[in-house]
Structure 1
């Protein structure tokens, strides 16, 4: 196959996908409902992107191409789909009772897009091709209709904003709206839309009469006989063609490697996930242990630090940072967002699962009904990649749900501590200082506390170093997650196996990369343990020299609770942040999975209707049904189904 033939084949496939998406968008739009309007708009934008892709590919073909692959035709079809998409957006905004001035701009943009379609259909070679077709007239009809709608919204917008003080301009817009409807009726298309437009003219005359009467009796503002078309606001654009990975969901070239390699890749991916989970869990557990020890030690140091009255500056800075993020309330909101995201993801998975199951059930019913005459491939076999991806997502969602339960348990168990972070700085300062805080007494006494301050400063340096090392673990965790998410198990494993490695050796080599990251954590953990041992020893020696009276014990107890509250906040924040990252990435994967499932069902429905037609025709002629061809000839691929581009009913 030469490059021209390949480009022609690609253009053919893109054209048919665009036609299918447009047909699906029109069908969903006709079903009504706010969610359907949103989905229809998305489908029309995708269709527009595919026609733009046809234009880009067909422009590379040397020599003449059929009319449907010309740049003019592809641009016209792209704008037609964008007009439908903008129309859906306008209708949803209208149902949502958006501001009249905004609706005027949206409707005006719909008219502009239909106008570009009408211009293309009445010029050059396209005019000859569509001679005798209803498309040019219907496009012109929609232009006048939406120009009229835009003027009516503009009039209503002036009424909302000026309260009748611009009645003359309102009348100008209504006159223009009426004129547009009259021009639409003059097209004499004798279709259902024309009857609706005539009814609109009657209603428009009533609106004009009412506005004119109000102006004559109340406002007495000079009338405008017409008004310029409202400013247009186009909110839709063609979606870029999806990459192969997005469109197919997995690497097509993975099918070229031996089945044993694919099985090994699946085993490796499972081992990799377990290995990464083990590292992260071990890291979280050790970090939690260290923070718990610090939450016991640091209050003892703070209690003996007589250089700062009330709440130490170190804790003040941490609390200020927490409250700048809306404190515990913000943390709870972020956690709730995670739970909402989880529900959305689960709902999308169920939708995709239902789509696959319904299509498979339909295929089984048809196969049982028609027997050997039902010659297409089993749905249960060709939808296996979708099912496999879905099972993996469901497995990960189960683990995520368990993690959410852990977070919820931590929140419940540490609620009383977290409530402390809702107090302001003055309240916390008062809690620590109490009535006899020695820090206040020592502010003017220098020599008596110098030795204590030096010892406290030394302890603080160790605590600061431990804090820094614990913070470095976040970078290690991010490196592990990034590497896991961006490593293609099939490609990396097949490269090693084809290079002469055994499956076991290849897996060990790949896991060694993660082992290096684990080694970084092990080194970090060892240093932290040594510092913690040193800190525990020195704090014990330090406290043995300090005289602990009742007031110092009270101060230590309060500081301990505040430190524990801060640690609890950051611990839970870490879990919530991981959840947000996971659900965001999973939501994108699931949306693509659902789109693939829906596209699969649409393609199978079209194939089903074609096969049913073949069976019916064969039964009528008394001839056996032939198996469907493996692919359609290019010439047939260029013929767009007319229904796919019919403007949605107003």
Structure 2
């Protein structure tokens, strides 16, 4: 059995025993007369709950050991105990009843599973409840008898009790100590703050560090510069500008390719319309692609505006690069001015001045460390200060005792006062030394140059962020535009494929109609010639005159019709039969594939607007169903959600 389950079984069963003992005590006099029936039912149900929980946990271990028979018996015992307790439980809390019902539901599920496995696999005999041993129980604590607790022979029962007068006196003394510590802590904190402000006014120790070559930036400005350098700095702007150029070129190429696809299809449609005249009844390409062309024009205009914005960005980078180049210096502190020694020295005491100032700063730092130690000493002394035993003794006046005990803090208070006085004197000395140092090393010019450098760095950071923001906006714009143009190009490809399929079908239909008209006209002319010219029956028949049934490939014998021009090249291969008009076979015999309608060819009245693929919503042409007015627009003309971002990137700046 896992340790957690074993411990759970032991504890649950022991708690159930405790509840059973409590239930037995509450049910018998004299407690039965002093407790409400609801409490008795509550204790009874809790006893059954913990006993059933012990059975449930124990059954889980039995199931792992494949002791299914005992598992079934334990579950039945636990469920029986819960059922009996629930019958007698009246007025118990709803939370307890919910917990009991949940436990009973889990036990029921496990019991059904165990019985099913036993019936199908194990076929073991379930033992009777009386034949099972008791569950193990264990207590987490050892009970102590009441007589042992109340035994006064071992220790004083009231040794920890403090009289009321002594407690009040202790509270008063504690308040006095807290007041002393608070006043001294405020003095120490005020002295440290004065030191910090005075040193900052004198620009110390930064001026000394600058003289030694250790220059620092203000924290906020240094963080801004580090963020710029991490993102690539001004030197990395050129690569991002190149990305803008590449994306703009890709978008322009996609736009040109899409327009060329539409123009090629429109040229082919116009050529067939010229070739077949009024028989070419489908709508013109320009009518169907008007919405697409409008969107392409919009994309072209946006690209032009974006190109203008790119030019402004490139010009901004070029013009401001001298300003921003300071951000590329690593570390950035190398761009700051430093204090230089005077070129000419009259008495050569520069080193002595610097040395004296450094020594004073070290002394000031030592005083600060001493103040921190004094504050810790105060807190430690308060922690160890315990006058309660003296108060309990009750010897003498409390005021005299307080005065004597408070005097322990006088030495530390005196040290704090001496520290503050020494600091004031040292600050005056440092101020005089710093004035001499500033005069010798011309600190005013250094401070002015440093402030100018700070402002230049801040301005460079602001300009870099502005340009970086514009570049990122441009990159997002081109990526979004490329996706939109790609969708339009795909729609154009689908449109052209459908138009090619329908063009092929319409050409075949027109050629079938023309071939049928030629056959009828040729037969009628032959009958008229045979009726007007009768040959002499007695004379030998002359050679049969060949009627122009089969015209030359480049000549059409039919009046009123012109020879179609050669078919141009198309993306979709056409059948070889409609590259030129069909030739008439001799004697008007129908040519295979011309006058006989194949089963896969559409009839003359075929609807050419049938979908070329699922989801298409033509028709592009249908001679017998065309209505005056605008043609129905296919789904690719529906304007898309472009541009998705309301960006000002491609607007003139």
Q: Please identify the structure whose Cα radius of gyration is greater.
A: 2
One fold, TM greater than 0.5?
no
**TM-score, normalized by length of structure 2?**
0.34
**TM-score, normalized by length of structure 1?**
0.34
